[in-house]
Amino acid sequence: MKASIAVAQKEFKDGLRNRWLIAITLIFAIFASALSWFGSAAVGSIGFSSVANTIVSLSSLNIFLLPLIALLLSYNAIVGEDEDGTLLLLLTYPLTKAELLLGKLIGHTAILAIATIVGFGSASLTIAIFAEGVNLVELSTAFGLFIFSAILLGMIFISLSYLISSWVSEKSKAAGLALIIWFFFVLIFDMALLGILVATEGQVHSELFPYLLLLNPTDVFRLVNLVNFETNGTGLLSIASEQSFSLSGLMLSMTIWIIVPFALAYYRLTKRPI
């Protein structure tokens, strides 16, 4: 475990040095503040509208941004060390492959978590201070849940990154695959589901269909942030509103989404030719 902490510290320091941490934090803070103030510009008003609106639009933005950042942050975790020759060296140290991978997960998660907490936290603070008539309890629970689930979403994509990274032999392939994964979950998956729904004229098993959403971690993330609001999701998510998922069920599904790719990444790492 101590070895994992050492790896985590190294990854964190690396993230600080590359300015990853500061860049991600700024991106989150700027987008979150902009969205909370101008999110309702489309309906003709400027300024903070409601917690529900803010969280819904923030989570729609986040499913584009966060997975991309998480993938970029960690796609070269294994393949990069391999190309530099440090993977070979590390494996001659008293450090197991599991400890190495776990340490990396802790380090990368720490970077993403700090950026998420500071970035979105500062946005919620500005709302609390400057907006009028805000229910502070509602605001802080909604943002708390949002930030927590965003960190989980980040971890899911970091795990997926490790799976890619321990599988392929070149950095450029890992980068390409990371973009494909992003494209698939953020754009293709929902479109394909909608396509099936339209093509079959809604005749698919209506009880089963909402569960298909659980196969896409970005949809799970959006569902988590809808649970506490009256608002129904737009587009595809509206089909899930008939089938209400419990918060704990959704969290469990996110946890599984972290563990399974991570375990597969470990398996690939043990099979990786050194």
Partner 1 sequence: MSVINLQNVKQSFDKLSVLKGIDLKLEPGEVLGLFGHNGAGKTTTMKLILGLLEPTAGSVKVFGHNPHDSNFSHHRYRLGFLPENVSFYQQLTGLEVLAFFAKLKKVDSKRCLELLNQVGLGNAKDRKIKTYSKGMKQRLGLAQALLTEPSLLLLDEPTVGLDPIATQEFYVIVDELKSKGCSIILCSHVLPGVEKHIDKAAILSQGQLKAYGSITDLRRQTNLNTQVVFDGCFEIDELSTQLGHTIDRNDEGFFVVSLSSEEKLDAIKLLMEQPGLKNIDTRPPSLEQLYKYFIEQDHQVITFPHEVTSPNEVFEIGGAK
- The nearer residue to partner 1, 105 or 123, going by C-beta atoms, is 105
Cα gap 125→121, rounded to integer Å: 6
CA separation, residue 246 to residues 55, 97, 252 (Å):
18, 36, 10
**Chain-centre distance for alpha carbon 128:** 25
- The nearer residue to partner 1, 34 or 88, going by C-beta atoms, is 88
- The nearer residue to partner 1, 27 or 90, going by C-beta atoms, is 90
- The nearer residue to partner 1, 41 or 88, going by C-beta atoms, is 88
Report the chain's C-alpha Rg in angstroms.
20
Give the nearest distance from C-beta 86 to partner 1 in angstroms: 6
- The nearer residue to partner 1, 6 or 27, going by C-beta atoms, is 6
- The nearer residue to partner 1, 134 or 263, going by C-beta atoms, is 263
Looking at the chain, which runs of residues are DSSP E strands?
none
Q: In 75-96, which residue ranges form alpha helices assigned H by DSSP?
A: 79-84, 86-90
Calculate helix-pair angle for 171-183, 136-167, nearest 10 degrees: 140
**Token pair recorded at residue 120:** 């979105």
Cα gap 164→178, rounded to integer Å: 7
Classify residue 228 as exposed, middle or buried by CB count within 10 Å of its CB (0-12, 13-18, 19+). middle
At a CB cut-off of 8 Å and minimum separation 6, what does 176 contact? none
Give the nearest distance from C-beta 260 to partner 1 in angstroms: 24
At a CB cut-off of 8 Å and minimum separation 6, what does 96 contact? 3
Classify residue 116 as exposed, middle or buried by CB count within 10 Å of its CB (0-12, 13-18, 19+). buried
Q: Which parts of this chain interact with partner 1 (CB under 8 A)? A: 2-3, 6-7, 9-10, 13-14, 17-18, 84-86, 88-96, 273-274
- The nearer residue to partner 1, 13 or 64, going by C-beta atoms, is 13
Give the nearest distance from C-beta 167 to partner 1 in angstroms: 19
Give the nearest distance from C-beta 118 to partner 1 in angstroms: 21
Give the nearest distance from C-beta 201 to partner 1 in angstroms: 52
Give the nearest distance from C-beta 108 to partner 1 in angstroms: 15
The sign one gets for the Cα dihedral 157, 162, 165, 167 is negative
